[in-house]
Amino acid sequence: MKLIKTLPALVLASVWMMNASAQTVLKIGYTPAVTSHYGVGTQVLCDEIEKGTQGRYKCQIFPNGALGGEREMIEAVQLGTLDMVNTSTGPVGNFVPEVKIVDIPFLFRDYDHARRYLDSAAGQELLTKFPAKGLVALAWTENGFRHMTNSKRAIVKPADASGLKMRTMENKVHMEGYRAFGIQPTPMAFPEVFGALQQGTVDGQENPIPVILASKFSQVQKHLSLTGHVYSPALYLTSPRLMNKLSDADKKVFYEAAKKATMAQRRKVNEDEDNGIAQLEKEGMSVVRKVDGAAFRAALAPAMVAYAKEFGADNIRKIQDFK
């Protein structure tokens, strides 16, 4: 009688063990804090994947650059030692050169322009370039418009930024533009930035408001200027190795999860843009809300000649004029 009573428990235990053994844990990384827009988007991505696959796939999330900088994580996805990464486009052009065009300074007018272009057929066509490089782009997501911070002085016009040693991403398109502003660009992986600012290795850095906020740069930077000099897209990247293992139904789950994650990440960017500047002022930063945008664009003219040569003036204009 006792044996009969224990049979249901044994059956349940064996079912649980079968489910557990059938579960695949995916490692995903990103560089900002878990409270950032990256944290919000990644959590939605993982929740939707787990829900859509009935728990057969779930995530182990590594925020704060725990697995290295963005370039290192992209390389790890290519090699198959990391399953997914939520990354800005900063280092992506080193892997997929066609993407570099979207990193041109002052290419996009505002968030609406950038989002509509990336969601359009032209933006989606760029994502088809990834598999040939050992990567799969599940969706565009968002980092945000980049602004300058530094420990030396307020920046209103390019002359104010001249001579400043500024941490930048490992992105030649960005660096060419920043040199035109008179800045000394210093490429550096994101996990190293806070320490470099704290120690004075660099004078400043440039990032979207959500990153400045989540990374607590107000503790090591005095001045913030809302330059909005570059719109920084982001991407959910995985590998063909992982995607080729999935059924068509599971592939659809992954792509749909990425779309929902993008919406969540963009909403968090909106919230931080709306509330973050006042918060940074409360934390002691001196904020220049109105910079001389025309002067920054004029200073960029020599770099634009180089961009036109590399990407084609017509291709740049198509993006700038996109409605």
Q: What percent of the chain shows pLDDT beyond 90?
A: 93
- Determine contact, residues 202/166, Cβ cutoff 8 Å: yes
Q: Per residue in 278-289, pLDDT tens?
A: 999 999 999 999
Mean pLDDT (whole number) for 47-73: 97
The span from the CA of 294 to the CA of 316, in Å, is 19
Q: Which residue has the tokens 């032209």?
A: 122
Report how far residue 166's alpha carbon sits from residue 222's, in angstroms, rounded to the nearest whole number.
14
Residues 179, 171: Cα–Cα separation, whole Å = 12
| pLDDT above 70 as % of the chain | 93
Length of the chain: 323
CB atoms within 10 A of CB 156: 16
pLDDT of residue 286: 98
- Average pLDDT of the chain is 94
CATH of the domain at 218: 3.40.190.170
Crossing angle, helix 37-52 and helix 248-282, to 10 degrees? 160
Judged against a pLDDT cut of 60, whether residue 111 lies above it is answered with yes
pLDDT score recorded for residue 14: 47
- Express each pLDDT in 85-108 by its tens digit: 999 999 999 999 999 999 999 999
Structure-model confidence comparison of residues 16 and 244, the more confident one = 244
Q: How confident is the model at residue 22 (pLDDT cuts 50, 70, 90)?
A: confident
DSSP 8-state class, residue 144: E
pLDDT digits (tens, 9 = 90+) for 249-273: 999 999 999 999 999 999 999 999 9
Give pLDDT, residue 8: 54
Per-residue pLDDT tens digits for 183-229:
999 999 999 999 999 999 999 999 999 999 999 999 999 999 999 99
Give tens-digit pLDDT for 142-185: 999 999 999 999 999 999 999 999 999 999 999 999 999 999 99
Runs of H (alpha helix) within the chain: 2-22, 37-52, 70-79, 111-119, 121-127, 158-161, 172-180, 193-199, 209-214, 240-243, 248-282, 293-299, 301-311, 313-320
Domain count, the chain: 1
pLDDT of 244 strictly over 70: yes
Q: Flag whether pLDDT at 11 surpasses 80.
A: no
Q: How confident is the model at residue 9 (pLDDT cuts 50, 70, 90)?
A: low
- Residue 17's pLDDT is 47
When pLDDT is cut at 50, 70 and 90, the band that residue 83 belongs to is very high
SS3 208: strand
CB 155 within 8 A of CB 206: no
Average pLDDT, integer, range 20-46: 93
Query: pLDDT band at residue 6, thresholds of 50, 70 and 90?
Result: low
Domain hosting residue 10, numbered range: 2-320
R_g of the chain computed on alpha carbons: 22
Calculate ∠ Cα 177-265-169, nearest 5°. 25
How far, in Å, CA of 106 to CA of 268, rounded? 22
Residue 7 tokens read as 């049979």
Element containing residue 229 per DSSP (H, E): strand 223-238
Give dist(CA 154, CA 160) in Å, integer. Answer: 7
Q: Which of 20-24, 70-74, 298-302 has the least mean pLDDT?
A: 20-24
The encoded tokens of residue 307 equal 């961009």
